[in-house]
Amino acid sequence: MMRNGLLIAAAVLLGALWIGAGQVRAEQKAPVYTSYTHNYPHQVPSDYVYRTERVFAPPAKKPFSALFSSAKKEAPGQKAVVAGGVLMQERVRDLVRQLLANPAEEIRDNYVVTVGTFVNMSQLYATSSLGRFISEQMITELQKSGVEVIEVRKTPSIMMSSNDGVFGLSTDMDELSTVYDAQAMVVGTYSAVGGEIFINARLLRNSDNMVLSTGSLSFAMGAMGKALLADEGMPVRTGKPVAIRAFAENSRAKDK
């Protein structure tokens, strides 16, 4: 009788141990994590006690590049303006590619070039910030492409002002040279029609006005195009003409 009781007690004890071990295995297999404690990649024992003063998860670290970025928020539309500026530069770059793609003569080796301000196709004495931007950017792209370019606004001497700074560019004819050694000139027109802007450019030989190469493009006007066209006007024609002299090829060879 006593033996049977011992067997029953042993069986009960073994069953309890088996159930307890199963619960431990279940807890270890699928531990319960909460949002206010750390979640570990490995299994955590069921009797583990979280000993930390931190209740919430640590904030996510900013990328290293964010340390050098400005914390100032961009104004509405600022991204669109920046993107529009990059697109405008790429359009002028494409215009220069066209001018240099199929010229009547090799431009890089045979010509020194000046760049004129792009004007309204319907009024050749009217221009705007768009026309000035195209010519400014074209000087950059031509020089980067290996073309020799003369800056016609360069003054013969440096102009200094104690309050304003040091200047080397001017549009005052009394402060500029009257003759430039250039053999070709980039001229161009633009036209805004039906929400689109059309641009045409030509490289002309100064000696006989021969068209050496051409380029054209069109694109949607957009907010930046409207802004660049907003100040279009016609200047008062008071300036004196500037002569452009085509220098001999042998003089260039000596210089080189």
pLDDT tens digits for 17-72?
566 555 555 555 555 555 445 555 666 666 666 555 555 555 555 554 554 444 44
CATH of the domain at 138: 3.40.50.10610
> What DSSP state is assigned to residue 189?
E
Residue 166 lies in a domain: yes
Residue 66 lies in a domain: no
pLDDT digits (tens), the chain, 256 positions: 566 666 666 666 666 656 655 555 555 555 555 544 555 566 666 666 655 555 555 555 555 455 444 444 555 555 554 556 788 899 999 999 999 998 888 898 889 999 999 999 999 989 999 999 999 999 999 999 999 999 988 888 888 888 888 888 888 777 777 778 899 999 999 999 989 999 999 999 999 999 999 999 999 988 888 999 999 988 766 556 667 666 555 445 445 4
Tokens of 184: 């070709």
Residue 48 lies in a domain: no
Distance, in Å, from the CA atom of 68 to the CA atom of 65, rounded to the nearest integer, reads 6
Residue numbers of the domain that contains 154: 78-255
For position 177, what pLDDT does the model report?
Answer: 73
Number of separate domains in the chain = 1
Residue 207 lies in a domain: yes
Residue 21 lies in a domain: no
Distance, in Å, from the CA atom of 188 to the CA atom of 207, rounded to the nearest integer, reads 18
Distance, in Å, from the CA atom of 204 to the CA atom of 184, rounded to the nearest integer, reads 5
Residue 107 lies in a domain: yes
Residue 243 lies in a domain: yes
Residue 117 lies in a domain: yes
State the helix-helix crossing angle for 78-101 and 129-144, rounded to 10 degrees: 60
**Dihedral sign, CA of 83, 86, 92, 97?**
negative
